Structure 1
């Protein structure tokens, strides 16, 4: 039973707790005691998603955190997401069940590197994906999400240079859509999305000719998907480049009976709940983020019992980072988080 459960700290996360009915009851009781709202990202383990108050992408969840009447936010996701919640809700206590849950994409650029890049391009407008640290957001002019990155860049005068970071695949998508020659893209990537490759997608699409393709723009296969459509290998209307939030909308609207999904495998749980009549399958079954999966049942139980791990963002950094997020929200479609 969860009431007597103990956990063990390992390099892969906290272990030793079974996500059974007793665990779920204790989680909900502890959340009530702490006046906490539980937020779970779409890439979390299914049992974490199911016990949460809200499930979604990072920016949508951060907005919920900021507007919630709860005094404590428990963010089941990776560290930059909990930071964003703290930035948008500075007066709230923000906890992440395991502070070691990082992000390869957020780690692919530092504030120091961004300052050096800006020095090479004086006067350029910095557009940063929300999948960045608070320190990087503080050096950013306008943040963006995967669903509004094109709108954000289009809002910038055509004669201004743009520095886009940190995801090279999302940056390539934006450059392709806007046609801007003065858009410079940082060579960062999410190790999970980068590993979903073109040949793999082509093979799966050929074996499932009637399936829709839901492709996250962070994926290394996004360009390949558009190529397949351009060559007529896959019907163009079946190829959809979508954020995680937009995938859920598309799942409810599609007429397809099967969908191949190119993103982290945790997304399949929400898609299958949204449209249980559709056969959703991963393009790459191994596309699992080890950082997302560090938020285990044991980690969440520890978090709520002990009030660990609290996320802090220095007020000066938070103020500057908040301004870059607010500028994004003021431009076009606010979009989903990733």
Structure 2
């Protein structure tokens, strides 16, 4: 690979030097399914062969091979959320997990560059926790319906309406919103976060269903906001009951971003990591995961003897991240994620309080 050094361009703008200027741009390699590429990616195909037909692997393999070589050259680490497709999750990711896991790991990585395979708020969170690192997202338009449901101005109005009430903000929000909150939470630690306050009333925003579900587990009064995940809000209790009737003995594992009526018919509810651990620990003969459908494929590749029934609700935002975009991101050092210094310190504090909270 040939590097086109563009660091000298930084002289024109002494205030901001882009990642492309700092690290240089690398020419696009030839992408061909050569015998060497086939040989070096063979062990990775074994992980995804149930989801990618053999006839299609020659399309994927050159990207996988190029990405895995280039991330070493760039001293980059790839963080991938559990909702990424199997080719990303199993073939190029260095660290995988839910929002809390990725937030914690982002603060510990030694690499200079973080490639965030997830949605934009996750990349912002990585930048908050590792401000000295370069954080890239392969597609800056990978948004989130929850994140877009509320603004920092909305939170300020809520604080005026409920003075003195602690504000717990779901990590699925922008840095602007995090900067107005006392502490962040994820679906895996929301109850612990809520219970950490002495106050008998807590604002839990913006996910209405997450707040409603945690309200059933605490004696505190939970105030919320009408934000919803466009994937999880589509599931219904009637749909799941129909699956139960059609599949005797099936275990249904739900995500707390679903409506409480949906959670009520589930055998277990938890974060994406909690769902994965439940399946690994209990090994049900047949299971349905009430969440984004790529996760079932990712688990299925690791767990034998479990049949996954897959109602497929895709997240269009997560699916904006693809192997070609990851490669382009590494080559061109785009799209760089930056957080306004005016809000970064306050937003970082809210995230650090969450990460450091003892479970």
- Residue 223, structure 1, aligned to residue 223, structure 2: no
1:99-110 to structure 2, matched below 5 A, reads 99-110=140-151
- Residue 81, structure 1, aligned to residue 119, structure 2: no
Match of 1:259 in 2: 287
Q: CA deviation at 1:18?
A: 7.3
Match of 2:351 in 1: 325
Match of 1:185 in 2: 224
1:97-140 C-alpha deviation (Å, 9 max, x unpaired): 00010001111111111111111111110001111111111101
Q: The residue matched to 1:264 in structure 2 has which SS? A: coil
Match of 1:310 in 2: 336
| Gap regions ≥5 residues in structure 2 | 1-27, 32-56
1:18-167 to structure 2, matched below 5 A, reads 19-50=59-90, 51-159=92-200, 161-167=201-207
Q: Which has the higher contact order (CA 8 A, sep 6+)?
A: 1
Aligned partners of 1:325 and 1:187: how far apart in 2? 22
Aligned partners of 2:279 and 2:187: how far apart in 1? 17
Instruction: Sort the Cα spacing of 1:178 and 1:281 in 2 relative to 1 into closer, same or farther, 3 A.
Output: same
Q: The residue matched to 1:164 in structure 2 has which SS? A: strand
- The answer as to whether partners of 2:99 and 2:186 remain within 8 angstroms in 1 is no
- The answer as to whether partners of 1:152 and 1:332 remain within 8 angstroms in 2 is no
RMSD over aligned Cα, in angstroms?
Answer: 1.9
Q: CA deviation at 1:202?
A: 1.2
Match of 2:15 in 1: none
Aligned partners of 2:58 and 2:256: how far apart in 1? 35
Give me the TM-score of the superposition, normalised by structure 1: 0.86
Give me the TM-score of the superposition, normalised by structure 2: 0.82
Considering only CA atoms, is the larger Rg found in Structure 1 or Structure 2? 2
- Residue 170, structure 1, aligned to residue 198, structure 2: no
Aligned partners of 1:115 and 1:90: how far apart in 2? 25
| Gap regions ≥5 residues in structure 1 | 6-16, 229-237, 334-338
Q: CA deviation at 1:224?
A: 3.2
Aligned partners of 2:172 and 2:226: how far apart in 1? 14
- The answer as to whether partners of 1:41 and 1:55 remain within 8 angstroms in 2 is yes
Q: The residue matched to 1:20 in structure 2 has which SS? A: helix
1:205-244 to structure 2, matched below 5 A, reads 205-220=244-259, 222-226=260-264, 228=265, 239-244=267-272
1:7-26 to structure 2, matched below 5 A, reads 19-26=59-66
Aligned partners of 2:240 and 2:216: how far apart in 1? 20
Q: The residue matched to 2:29 in structure 1 has which SS? A: helix
